[in-house]
Every structure is written in C-alpha cells, then in structure tokens.
C-alpha cells in the first residue's frame, strides 16, 4: 500500500482506502481538501488530521507520486517543471501567469507518438501514457509554486490527450469535482483523433476542444502531421463541427504559421470556407524555433498580419497566441523533456 498515491483519487476512493477507520468519511473529506484545495504534498502539512492518523498515512500511502528534477523560470514569469515518478520517464508542465488569471499547461503522455514535424515532443518519440495521478499531480505541483489560484488548465503539453482518453477524462473530472475548476476553463488539444473526438462528444462534458489544424490542405498537413494520412482535413473538421453541435461549445482551430509552408493567403481563404457556419475561432501561432530537419522558419510580422487580416475580412474570429516562456523552451511545440531511457518508439501507433 505504500506505493498507493492519493492524488488521482476522488473523495469516495480515499474514503474506501480508509476503511479501517470509523471516521473514514470525515477524514477523506479533510484529506481531499488538503490535497486538492491547498495543494499539500505531505501528510505532515495536514494540520487538521490527528497526529496518529498522519503517522499511519505516512506508512501506508503517498500523497503524490511526482518528484521535481528540474525547475526553471523565464524572464516573463513563466515557470517550467520537469517531473517524474521515479521510473526514469520525465515530462514537462508549465505555469503561465497573466494579469487576470493563472493558467497551466500539462502533459498527458511521456513523449508523443504522433511525429509532428514541427514539434520537439513529437520528434523525440514516445514512452507511455500518463496515469491520472501523474496528470493531476502536475497541476498540484504547479499550484504549489504560486499563491494565486490556477484557474485554467490546457492539455497542450507533451503527448496526444485523445490517445489517453480514459486517464484524461478521469483527470478532467477530478479537476472539476475535487479541485473545483470550471469545465469551461479546461481545454483539451488534439491533432485530430477522430473516433476519440466523437467519444468525447458523447460524454457531453462542457470542456473546450482545440484542434491542431495547421493547414487546410491535405498534402501540406500530411507533410507536417502524419495523422492526416488516417483522418484527412474534411473528416477531422467535420468531427469538430459535430463536437460543437453535441456540446454547445465553441471550438478552436490552432494554426501554426510556418514561413512559406502554412502562411500563404490562399490557405487563409480555404480556412474561412472550412470554418464557416458553426461557432469557432482560429488561434494563430507563429512558429517557435525547434531544430527540425525541414529547416522551418518563423514568418515575419508583415506576413502574420496579412494572414490574420485575410481571415478577418472573411468574417473569421481570430486570435494570436501570446508567446510566453520562449527563453526556457516552454512555448508551443518546444516541450521536449529529458529522458533517461532510450527505448522510445519512433513510429506511429496503430490508429483505430
């Protein structure tokens, strides 16, 4: 039982683990509050529990499975953690403060099997899915770094969340039910695992879903994202439309602007056609430098402005990703982690 982590457990599950005590219901509520509301990582910090109970818990359980092996801060107040649970697999998560809120970016896998050509995580290969305790544990580790409440969580770190649906959905429910976050402040980003988009739609959780589109043309998108060979642009955008209809939520199309590859104005015109007629917006992301064999480059400001203007003229709701944490490689596409193991998979998994 010593290896049992309480992070990732609901109040009811903690109560079941305390089945030797007559006051299990009361103590489970206290423990869940200490873990999820106050981000306490040690039983010794839980002052509302009797000293004897704290000693018993120390012998039987862990609060969190995660250890921090690296902590870096950027010049713009972004903080990045490299975490692991002792198995040699490390992954990254990021704290992003804004004047009006605090957000965090968390990982769903160790590495990523999708092989996107512009992403440091995807270029490095894949080890395994993360467990619920490891996903929720990232939020709690980041929360311990700031006195301000982290109110927004994006699953845009390492990995493809919809290849780990069971753990991701369980984590979303804990962040809502136990931590107390609004589902509307929880965002899941996907490269477009179409069956899992429909699976998520069936659950009707009012979370925000974002698709990494990056080109409206199949040939360009497939060059960048091997997943497009399985589910093309039309199928993937169609699934996003159906998700929006099923949940009543506006969806996001993330769009990476790569000089001479995805920033041509004809692609902006095509995006306007694809996204017409349902609630959505396009989030533009000028390419953050990643060492790729393709030699991708960031477009200049004039090209970005022209692309955005073309979308706006066509009536598309457009935003541009604010670049944060670039100097510590915490910006979009830059999370790579530092891995001790070398047996990582370099090929795509079988996609159903």
Q: Which are the catalytic amino acids?
A: 92, 332
Question: What count of other Cβ atoms lies within 10 Å of the Cβ of residue 52?
Answer: 8
Structure token pair of residue 252: 């996001």
Q: Please state the φ and ψ torsions of residue 257, each to the nearest 5 degrees.
A: -95, 110
Structural contact between residues 18 and 57, judged by C-beta atoms closer than 8 angstroms = no
Per-residue exposure over 158-189, b if at least 16 CB sit within 10 Å of its own CB, e if not = bbbbbbbbebbbbbbbbbbebbebeeebbbbb
- A 10 A CB-CB count for 152 gives 18
Q: Which of 123, 347, 114 has its CA nearest to residue 226?
A: 114
Residue 22 has a CB neighbour count (10 Å cut-off) of: 8
Is there a contact between 224 and 263 (Cβ–Cβ < 8 Å)? no
**Three-state SS for 80?**
strand
């Amino acid at each position: 039982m010593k290896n049992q982590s309480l992070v990732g457990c609901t109040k009811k599950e903690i109560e079941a683990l305390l089945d030797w005590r007559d006051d299990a219901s009361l103590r489970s509520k206290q423990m869940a509050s200490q873990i999820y509301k106050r981000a306490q990582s040690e039983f010794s910090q839980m002052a509302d529990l009797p000293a004897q109970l704290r000693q018993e818990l120390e012998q039987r359980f862990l609060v969190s499975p995660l250890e921090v092996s690296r902590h870096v801060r950027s010049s713009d107040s972004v903080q990045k953690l490299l975490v692991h649970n002792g198995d040699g697999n490390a992954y990254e998560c990021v704290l992003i403060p804004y004047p009006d809120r605090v957000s965090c970016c968390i990982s769903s896998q160790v590495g990523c099997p999708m092989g996107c050509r512009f992403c440091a995580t995807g270029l490095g290969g894949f080890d395994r899915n993360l467990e619920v305790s490891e996903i929720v544990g990232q939020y709690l580790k980041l929360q311990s770094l700031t006195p301000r409440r982290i109110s927004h969580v994006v699953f845009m770190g390492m990995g493809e969340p919809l290849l780990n649906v069971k753990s991701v959905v369980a984590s979303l429910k804990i962040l809502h039910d136990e931590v107390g976050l609004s589902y509307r402040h929880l965002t899941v980003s996907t490269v477009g695992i179409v069956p899992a988009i429909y699976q998520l739609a069936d659950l009707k959780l009012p979370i925000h879903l974002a698709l990494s589109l990056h080109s409206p043309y199949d040939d360009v998108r497939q060059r960048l994202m091997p997943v497009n060979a399985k589910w093309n642009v039309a199928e993937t955008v169609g699934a996003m439309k159906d998700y929006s209809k099923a949940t009543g939520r506006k969806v996001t199309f993330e769009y990476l602007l790569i000089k001479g590859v995805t920033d041509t104005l004809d692609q902006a015109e095509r995006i306007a056609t694809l996204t017409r007629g349902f609630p959505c917006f396009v989030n533009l992301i000028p390419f953050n430098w990643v060492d790729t064999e393709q030699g991708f480059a960031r477009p200049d400001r004039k090209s970005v402005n022209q692309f955005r203007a073309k979308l706006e003229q066509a009536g598309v709701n457009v935003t541009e990703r604010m670049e944060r944490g670039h100097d510590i490689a915490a910006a979009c596409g830059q999370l790579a982690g530092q891995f001790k193991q070398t047996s990582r998979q370099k090929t795509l998994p079988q996609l159903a």
